[in-house]
A and B are shown apart, each in its own frame.
Chain A
Amino acid sequence: QKEVEQDPGPLSVPEGAIVSLNCTYSNSAFQYFMWYRQYSRKGPELLMYTYSSGNKEDGRFTAQVDKSSKYISLFIRDSQPSDSATYLCAMRTGNTPLVFGKGTRLSVIA
């Protein structure tokens, strides 16, 4: 089993839809959880940064971490065509490099 599992998609939704992106992981020592957005041929951009369990909201984005289930989610409300990108989950323990999911390709259709 890979440390971090993420459905690669592609995921296609109509503009205005609520998007749900998810990752599961196997290492219970992970404490820091991140979501990055990557446009084609660009570096990843940090969207959300969460420590331990709980929810975090920033504008149209909400990140959830459920450590008991080893499951993290990113919700995008009122999705826009500009949200079309690859979304990468990433996580780490206290002092190790990030472990990335494979990324989910999202297309928001106008």
Chain B
Amino acid sequence: GAVVSQHPSWVICKSGTSVKIECRSLDFQATTMFWYRQFPKQSLMLMATSNEGSKATYEQGVEKDKFLINHASLTLSTLTVTSAHPEDSSFYICSATASVNEKLFFGSGTQLSVL
């Protein structure tokens, strides 16, 4: 299957700092990328959908000023958690697809711990 690379795999930061997570499609052009959040033993919760060159579409209840998403190229999307707080601690996963009718591939996830 296609490869989606996500970095870092884990990060620990102090409360109030910002953290950037990168998601790259290595062997295909990702016109659409999705960002998910997952709590322990829970399913994936879609946070936002980003299309290359466009503003991200956020799901209801997700603060767009807190979770900044940039999809500047067909192979890279970034999620920046601004002014992180302990309640932002979670497992964040990106996914990418070449088009809405194509298969969706996931990155390996980022465990964020905010102290």
Distance from A49 Cβ to chain B, minimum over Cβ atoms (Å): 5
Known: A94-B101, A95-B100, A97-B49. A43 touches B43 (CB 8 A): no
Identity of the chain A residue whose Cβ is nearest the Cβ of B103 in the assembled complex: A49
A88 touches B103 (CB 8 A): no
- Interface positions, chain A 70-96, Cβ under 8 Å from B, are 88, 90, 94-96
Identity of the chain A residue whose Cβ is nearest the Cβ of B104 in the assembled complex: A98
B101 touches A102 (CB 8 A): no
Known: A88-B44, A97-B34. A41 touches B100 (CB 8 A): no
- Interface positions, chain B 66-111, Cβ under 8 Å from A, are 91, 93, 95, 100-101, 103-109, 111
CA distance A32 to B103 in the complex (A): 9
Identity of the chain B residue whose Cβ is nearest the Cβ of A90 in the assembled complex: B104
B104 touches A101 (CB 8 A): no
Known: A34-B104, A42-B108. A102 touches B42 (CB 8 A): yes
A46 touches B43 (CB 8 A): no
Residues of A within 8 A of B108 (CB): 42-43
- Whether, in the assembled complex, A61 has its beta carbon less than 8 Å from a beta carbon of chain B, the answer is no
Q: Which residues of A contact B (CB under 8 A)?
A: 8, 32, 34, 36, 41-46, 49, 88, 90, 94-98, 100-103, 105
Would you mind naming 16 contact pairs between A and B with Cβ atoms under 8 Å apart?
A: A8-B41, A34-B104, A41-B111, A42-B108, A43-B93, A43-B106, A44-B106, A45-B106, A46-B103, A46-B105, A88-B44, A94-B101, A98-B34, A100-B44, A101-B43, A102-B43
